[in-house]
Amino acid sequence: MNKKIIIFGIILSALMISSCVKDLDVTPQDPTKILAGNLNDDPVYMKQALAKIYASFIISGQGSNGGADIAASDENFFTTMRALWNLQEITTDEAICAWTDVGIADLNTQTWSPSNSFLTALYQRLALSITYANDFIVKAQGNSDPDVERYVAEARYLRALAYYWAIDLFGQFPFTTEEDGVGKFFPKIGTRTEIFNYIETELLDLENKLGAPKFSYPQADQAAAWMLLARLYLNAEVYTGTPRWDDCKDYCDKVIGSGKYSLATDYRQNFSADNDGLHNPEMIFAWEQDGINVQGYVGTTFIIESSSDATYIRAEDFHGLTSNTNWNGNRARINFLAKLVDTIAVYGNAPIPANDPTLSLAPDNRVFLKIKKERNIPAPSASGDYGIGVYKFTARNTDDSKPANYNTAFACTDFPVFRLADAYMMRAEALFRMGGAANIDAAVADVNEIRERAFGNTSGNITAADLDLDFLIDERGREFYYEAQRRTDLIRFGKFTGGDYLWQWKGGAYAGASTSEHLDLFPIPGDELSANPNYNGVNNPGY
Is the pLDDT score of 23 beyond 90? no
> DSSP character for 520?
G
CB 302 within 8 A of CB 409: no
Residue 424, C-beta contacts closer than 8 angstroms, at least 6 positions apart: 252, 256, 446, 447, 449, 450
Residue 288, C-beta contacts closer than 8 angstroms, at least 6 positions apart: 1, 3, 6, 54, 58, 218, 276, 294, 414
- Residues 207 and 196: their CA atoms lie apart, in Å, by 16
Q: Which pLDDT does position 25 carry in this prediction? A: 32
Collapsing DSSP to helix, strand or coil, 430 comes out as helix
Banded pLDDT at 67 (limits 50, 70, 90): low
> DSSP character for 290?
B
- Residues 274 and 266: their CA atoms lie apart, in Å, by 12
Nearest to 347 by CA among 335, 359, 365: 359
The CA-based angle 287-293-295, given to 5 degrees, is 70
Q: Which pLDDT does position 62 carry in this prediction? A: 63
CB 121 within 8 A of CB 60: no
Is the pLDDT score of 7 beyond 90? no
Q: What is the mean pLDDT of the segment spanning 208-234?
A: 97
Banded pLDDT at 525 (limits 50, 70, 90): very high
Banded pLDDT at 11 (limits 50, 70, 90): very low
What are residue 371's DSSP bridge partners? Answer: 388
Q: Each residue of 122-137: pLDDT tens digit?
A: 999 999 999 999 999 9
Banded pLDDT at 15 (limits 50, 70, 90): very low
Cα-atom radius of gyration of the chain, to the nearest Å? 23
Q: Which pLDDT does position 39 carry in this prediction? A: 63
CB 10 within 8 A of CB 52: yes
Query: Which pTM does this prediction carry?
Result: 0.93
CB 530 within 8 A of CB 537: yes
Q: What is the mean pLDDT of the segment spanning 21-35?
A: 38
Q: Each residue of 377-435: pLDDT tens digit?
A: 999 999 999 999 999 999 999 999 999 999 999 999 999 999 999 999 999 999 999 99
By residue count, the chain amounts to: 543
Q: Which pLDDT does position 8 carry in this prediction? A: 31
- Residues 107 and 100: their CA atoms lie apart, in Å, by 11
Collapsing DSSP to helix, strand or coil, 184 comes out as coil
Q: Each residue of 327-347: pLDDT tens digit?
A: 999 999 999 999 999 998 999
Is the pLDDT score of 14 beyond 50? no
Q: Which pLDDT does position 435 carry in this prediction? A: 98
Q: Which pLDDT does position 16 carry in this prediction? A: 33
Amino acid of residue 389 = G
Collapsing DSSP to helix, strand or coil, 370 comes out as strand
Q: What is the mean pLDDT of the segment spanning 185-193?
A: 95
From the number of C-beta atoms within 10 Å of its C-beta (0-12, 13-18, 19+), residue 356 rates as middle
Nearest to 224 by CA among 258, 194, 249, 273: 258
CB 345 within 8 A of CB 457: no
Q: Each residue of 96-122: pLDDT tens digit?
A: 999 999 899 999 999 999 999 999 999
Q: Return the number of other C-beta atoms located less than 10 Å from residue 144's C-beta.
A: 6
